[in-house]
Amino acid sequence: MKENIRMTRINELLKREIANILEKIIDRKSGSLVSVTEVKTTPDLKFAKVYISILGPLEPKKEIFKSIQKNRAFIQSSIASVIRIKYTPVLHFTIDERFEDGDKVISMINDMEHKTEL
């Protein structure tokens, strides 16, 4: 139980710090909103999967994700200077599409409601 609480705290701490770093390095002119939705760290603290949500136009999304991946080493070193844990995990970024999938479902429901009203 203690280990689970510790991992939750580490994941939340990493999530907050990564979000702060991304806020500084992402170009705001892109018109996209970038957020860290979840971080899952392995129990040995050597790897962390970072789920990123990018809302906005498709082309800037691709560029933003490429930029995040390109700056992975910088993000890790920034984390290492702020968070004191045994290992600074190697970050693996992935797009979190849960919000987009949710938007599609809501849009489909709205379309179906609109068609039944006609």
Predicted pLDDT at 91: 96
> How are beta strands 47-55 and 33-41 bridged, if at all?
antiparallel
Q: pLDDT by residue (tens digit) across 93-103?
A: 999 887 665 55
Q: What is the pTM of this model?
A: 0.78
Which domains, ranges and CATH numbers included, belong to the chain?
A: 2-117 (3.30.300.20)
Q: pLDDT by residue (tens digit) across 44-75?
A: 999 999 999 988 777 788 888 998 999 999 99
